[in-house]
Amino acid sequence: MRHLPDEVRELIDGPNYCHLATLMPDGAPHVVAVWAGMEGPHVAVFTQRGSRKARNIARDPRVSLSVTGHADPYRTAHLRGRVVGERTGDEALAVMDRLSLTYTGEPFPMRGPDGVLLLIEPEHVGFRALPFTHRA
């Protein structure tokens, strides 16, 4: 397993939107915005069992994730890896409540039996901080 640099961990653990890429049955990429956070050495994302990303991952666990700093969009990270585990039920919702608090300040509102927390093992990791100032 690849160790994540502190800068990458900080971006993933902050209220920064991530984009998760999975592979469609024909090999085409499928990309969707997700919340993410660190769960031990893994990156955790949540989805519903029947979602396109969950179906893609069930067939091929390879994924890619990019994250851009909310406060400084010129701080970015990307990783490639594999989904190596999952959690369901209360165990998954405990992590999602923690992530939801980071992003919204409230517990995760979407509770149901089909939720699944995916655990990604990073294999290739990159970080970049560009010397630009964002103009809002």
Q: Report yes or no on 61 lying in a domain.
A: yes
Spatial separation of the C-alpha atoms in residues 10 and 61, rounded to whole Å: 24
Query: Is residue 115 in some structural domain?
Result: yes
In a domain, residue 134? The reply is: no
Q: Considering its fold, how many domains does the chain have in total?
A: 1
Q: Structure pTM? A: 0.93
Residue 82 belongs to some domain of the structure = yes
In the prediction, which pLDDT does 56 show? 98
User: Is 10 a member of any domain?
Assistant: yes
More confident residue, 3 or 87: 87
31-54 pLDDT, tens digit each: 999 999 999 999 999 999 999 999
Cα within 13 Å of Cα(58), Cβ side: 11
What range does the domain containing 119 cover? 6-127
Q: Is residue 135 part of a domain?
A: no
pLDDT, one tens digit per residue, over 45-94 is: 999 999 999 999 999 999 999 999 999 999 999 999 999 999 999 999 99
* Residue 1, in any domain of the structure: no
What is the mean predicted confidence (pLDDT) over 106-126? 93
Which residues fall within 8 angstroms of residue 9, CB to CB, at 6 or more apart? Answer: 38
> What CATH number has the domain bearing residue 48?
2.30.110.10
pLDDT exceeds cutoff 60 at 1 = no
Domain presence at residue 54: yes
> Where do runs of H (alpha helix) occur along the chain?
6-13, 52-59, 89-104
